[in-house]
Amino acid sequence: MPELPEVETIKRQLKTRIIGLKLSKITILNQKSFQGDATLLEGTVVVEVWRRAKMLGVDVVVSRQSSDLSLQISKQNSSQILTILFHLKMSGQVIFVGKQGAKKGGFSLGHPTTDMFDEMPNKSTRVIFEFSNGSKVYFNDQRKFGWVKVIKRAEIEGLKTFQELGPEPLEGSFSWKILKECLLKHKNIVIKVALLDQKTIAGVGNIYASEALFIAKIDPRRIVSTLSDNDFQKLHAGIIESLQKSIEEGGSSRTHYVNVEGKRGSYLDFAFVYNRKDGICRICRSRIKKITLGGRGTFYCELCQK
């Protein structure tokens, strides 16, 4: 899927479009894609959209006349909040379609998406969320690895997948020393594989692991225990740089990823190594190599990365 920058892009866009909207109907087209009781969501109002690692959360509360009051309730009584949790895995998409765009507080937000309207649903649509103003959110997932689940907000922290997650790399508190500490938890594996473990750092996937290691000039085959403090510092900077750059570019679109408007991200136009086998290294002009590490394609420059 979508790694951190792609989910972050979806989160930011969805937030401006669906907060304050009331859910009217949920249609499940593939049972395996949906866990929990969808009927609990009908009539609820969206109060928040958030991201943790590669997961997307949409918080909803039972509607009480106005959405303003709902917002108040959410702050006072978190036990009332339900979360619609998404994991897009390899091929998930979240598409928003609203003919006039969502409205909140009297002004219109977002861009018109009438072009997507006729294309949705498509053959990979697995779940459809309909709002009372006619807007819709489509969860598409060609490979059916992704999922949507309904869970009480208060129960999320108890989920094993949440408890074990490593730190968020774009939070201010994420330092190179924390990165070092997390990576040394499994010091005998290859650095590229360690970066993919969500217990090490949350949100880094196959694209940004290769990119961050290139920026840090570290060979992806290195064993974690061989890294110096200077390496950890460069890697820390490389992770942040690649993730931030990708968010600026709206994420990476190799095959499936699109944002909520159905548009592709452009990070791969700037990528140093990912998906650039035999391409020219932007720094030393030698050929980019592709190898397999931990069963995943890994791209790097033999000259630049030591």
Partner DNA sequence: CACTTGACCTGTCCGC
Partner DNA sequence: TGCGGACAGGTCAAGT
CB of 150 to DNA, least distance (A): 17
Please give the single-letter amino acid code of residue 60.
V
| CB-nearer residue toward DNA: 92 or 98 | 92
| CB-nearer residue toward DNA: 57 or 294 | 294
* 246 contributes a contact to DNA by CB under 7 A: no
Question: So which residues are the catalytic ones?
Answer: 2-3, 54, 296
Please give the single-letter amino acid code of residue 122.
N
> Mask: binding to DNA, 191-220, rule CB under 7 A, as x and -?
--x--x-x------xxx-------------
Helix 229-248 to helix 206-215 angle (10° resolution) is: 120
# binding residues, DNA (CB under 7 A): 44
* 9 contributes a contact to DNA by CB under 7 A: no
198-234: burial string, b at 16+ Cβ within 10 Å, e else: bebbbbbbbbbbbbbbbbbbbbbebebeebeeebbbb
> Mask: binding to DNA, 269-298, rule CB under 7 A, as x and -?
------x----------------x-xxxx-
* 91 contributes a contact to DNA by CB under 7 A: yes
Rounded to whole angstroms, the Cα distance separating 185 from 92 reads: 31
Among residues 189, 179, 257, the alpha carbon closest in space to that of 221 is found at 189
Using DSSP's 3-state secondary structure scheme, residue 247 falls into: helix
The DSSP output letter for 288 is P
| CB-nearer residue toward DNA: 54 or 153 | 54
CB of 65 to DNA, least distance (A): 38
Among residues 201, 203, 204, 236, the alpha carbon closest in space to that of 218 is found at 236
Residues at the interface with DNA (CB under 7 A): 1-3, 6, 32, 53-54, 87, 89-91, 123-124, 142-145, 161, 186-190, 193, 196, 198, 205-207, 251-257, 265, 268, 275, 292, 294-297
